[in-house]
Chain A
Amino acid sequence: MGCRKEGLGEDANNKAAMADSVSDALLLATMCIIGLPVDVHAKDGSVYSGIFHTACVNNDYAIVLKKARMIKKGNRGTNVMNGRLIETLIVQSEDLVQVVAKGVPLPANGITGYVGGDGVEDIADINECLKREVKATELNESNGDKRHRSQTRSSAKKESGLDYISTAKKANVSANSARDFSETQEALAVSVDGRQLGNGSQEKQINCSDKPEFLDERTTYEVRGSSLSSACETQLTAAERIPDETNMQRKPKGVSSGCPAPLDYEMQQRPSLEEIPCSEAPASDVSVAATTTVDVASQSFLNSSLTSTRSVPPNVSSFNRTAKESKLNPGAKLFSPSLVHHRSVTPPAVPTGASVAYLSDHHAMVPITTAQQEVDISSFAPRSSVPVKFFPCSNVVIGNGGTEIPYVQPIIGQVVNRTPPGRYAGQYHNLQARPAYVHPNPQNIMVGRVGPLVCMHPISNDVVQGSAGFSQATMRPLLTQHHLPKHQGSATAQALQLYMNPPIIASGQQPFAMPSPNPISQPFFPVIQPVPVPRSNGFFSTKFA
């Protein structure tokens, strides 16, 4: 976190920074041991074994373990019982002696292992369609190159200077909003290129060379921020680049003639693109939808975080954008990507969805899903502007005497990804605002629900998150099977099942009204989220205690 801020300020070139900066290596090493069982030796000689959850790298290095257990008693009294399972254990920097991790897959040893098994096919597909599209757009590219470049430059400025540009202007000039839209898209496309560069893909490198200065910026974000783009991810986002690029070709023309044209074009373009990989690679579609909306969201949030007075206009502008889109393209074409997107939002959630019920620590449960999403999308700026705050979750703090120390420092690792709920709210708001214009669909109900969330309630975040998680569960029956038996007999299980039906239908992309399951599940919905987890928590903890 800290070092990313630095990076934003310095505007440094990422490679050198990565090589030189030690804390980057520390970050990397930290990331590498996330999720691995580690032993932590404390100052008093006690040893705790647990799952490395995250670490704080703000000057000093404190770590958070999950499911920790003291395996050796120290010479000083602690508030930790020997042998008991501790849900979340925070080892403060001053107590930390060493962290021992075994079997760490250091990334230096190759990245092949990191590509998800089921992602491989998708990648192949996407690559195919990528090549095709690149060929198709090559001609246009030569024509629009100049304008293209200049625009990227301007968008780069806009991106980097987001903090400084008065957002009111943006919002007020209605024509601008459309252009903004295109620009942000481009920016994202470029950022994708940046990743690809890291990945060593030649096609993208060529593209990158067109816009070197912007690339620099973007890549710094990327490296500083999560710095971690998987091969899989990059490939997926690469697919997204295509529509963006084609849009870029058209945008300049379109803008001169009037903004509706390009938008419309883009909308028509997209579904056709998606048709190609559709069956195999929903994730690629995902990224298409995701980038546009999320970036918008991030903008708005950034602004809102800067000043409260400015927070309204950007939101409005983003609304306008979505509204325009939907008006321009009233057909289902618009909707289908967003639906796909919904599906896509969930994939990262799989583990979360499964673990929601298991994790008795509600903090841990909350944001993982979208956090992931966010990282994929590489909208970093807003995150840095808002330090992660909700970490008062220290169940136990090692440290002789000190208990429940609020943990307000920025934390890397999983927690970095946990941006404040408001942001998610905004994000979701935008995502789901789209369908609202189009279909009387199950998701509209979500919209109604999510809309109010913009007022940034932490709980609402849970709700949204949970919805993602659960709907996810339907997609991976294995996990749900894991899931349900644990809770059978409790109200939770039933509630879960109730809720889990709708997403199946929703993912079928049918405009089903879904009268019966939804009304039932919906009223429960807000109740479900907060209640069962603590309950299960209580259940387990009493069992453990």
Chain B
Amino acid sequence: MEAQVQSNSVEEFVVGCILAIKTTLGEEFQAQVITFDPSSNLLILHILRIIYNLYIYIYNEYAIYFFHFIVCKFFNFYRKIQEGVKSESGPKRNIRLLKANYIKEFDLLGQGEDPLDVNKCFLDLNTLQAREDSAIRQAEIDAERRIGVGVTAEAQSIFDALAKTLPVRWDKTNIVVMNEVHVSSPYLPENVTGGTAAANERVRKVLEFEKKRLQARGAGQ
């Protein structure tokens, strides 16, 4: 699974060259080499375009119910990436630090300039720290919001399951999905109310699926 790239080919990771990379985890993307660090064997890539994304796997288990949803999402994502390619010189980039020994194969697509301008390499530690702090704070707030107050463990696991694919929040003991569909206790498909018909239907299906899954897990234990 690993170590497909021989050490002698390491020199091919010239800074600035544009590669099409397939990883052993099944991802495929085109990226420009920002740098390669031989000691840690890390390749730092500026992602230009994602051809096949691992994230589709993440939603795999919901694929049956959500296929169109995923496709939409993926399509949007892809479009965003395309835009990202256009605005290559824009302020934000998608970066990956990839261990070189997880590259299954790669093709050289071209040679670009060094993406890092050494003369402009400034970082503000204050900014970094502020960024991290606010991110952590945000994460905590989010995490707190994910926890329902006065709800059963089962309700929480349903919520967590829904949260994997959809934007959800608690409204007291009700789960609000996509700000429109309400799921009230005892969180059966028939407790799903509100929202557009499609959204409602979607939530129902997930709920059904989740219930089954939780039951199966409970039985398994």
Contacts and interface: CB of A to CB of B under 8 A. Distances in A.
B125 A375 contact: yes
Contacts of B15: 25
B129 A351 contact: yes
Interface stretch (A56-64, A146-154, A292-300): A56-64
B23 to A, nearest CB: 7
Interface string A89-121: 000010011111111111111110111100000
Q: What DSSP secondary structure best describes chain A's contact surface?
A: mixed
A159 interface: no
Interface string B46-73: 1000000010011000000000000000
Interface string A16-34: 0011001101101111111
B92 A98 contact: no
Interface string A317-353: 0000000000000000000000000000000101110
B96 A101 contact: yes
B206 interface: no
A358 interface: yes
A109 B91 contact: yes
A45 interface: yes
A473 interface: no
B42 A100 contact: no
Interface in A49-72: 50-53, 57, 59-61, 66-67, 71-72
B92 A31 contact: no
Residue from B94, B97, B134, B143 whose CB has the most chain A CB atoms within 10 Å: B97
A164 interface: no
A482 B144 CA distance: 14
B121 A29 contact: no
B99 A98 contact: yes
A232 B125 CA distance: 11
Given A51-B136, A61-B42, A29 B34 contact: yes
Given A107-B121, A110-B91, A358-B136, A41 B126 contact: no
A26 B129 contact: no
Nearest to A34: B128
A300 to B, nearest CB: 24
A230 B124 contact: yes
B192 interface: no
A160 interface: no
B164 interface: yes
A51 B129 contact: no
B129 A116 contact: no
B129 A104 contact: no
B122 A53 contact: no
Interface residues of B, number: 59
Contacts of A37: 135
Contacts of A60: 39-40
B40 A57 contact: yes
B129 A108 contact: no
Given A32-B123, A35-B132, A104-B92, A61 B98 contact: no
A103 B92 contact: yes
Interface in B11-54: 15, 23-25, 34-40, 42, 44, 46, 54
B58 A72 contact: yes
Residue from B34, B139, B164 whose CB has the most chain A CB atoms within 10 Å: B139
Given A93-B40, A111-B120, A116-B126, 16 more contacts: A25-B34, A25-B116, A32-B123, A51-B136, A96-B99, A97-B23, A98-B102, A101-B96, A102-B92, A102-B94, A105-B91, A109-B91, A110-B120, A113-B91, A354-B133, A358-B140
27 contacts: A22-B37, A23-B40, A26-B35, A28-B116, A29-B35, A29-B95, A30-B97, A31-B123, A32-B123, A34-B128, A34-B131, A35-B128, A36-B131, A47-B54, A66-B132, A98-B97, A100-B95, A102-B92, A107-B120, A107-B123, A108-B117, A108-B121, A115-B124, A198-B122, A228-B122, A358-B137, A544-B147
Interface of A: 15, 18-19, 22-23, 25-26, 28-37, 41, 43, 45, 47, 50-53, 57, 59-61, 66-67, 71-72, 83, 85, 93, 96-111, 113-116, 198, 226-233, 348, 350-352, 354-355, 358-359, 368, 372, 375-376, 414, 417, 482, 540, 543-544
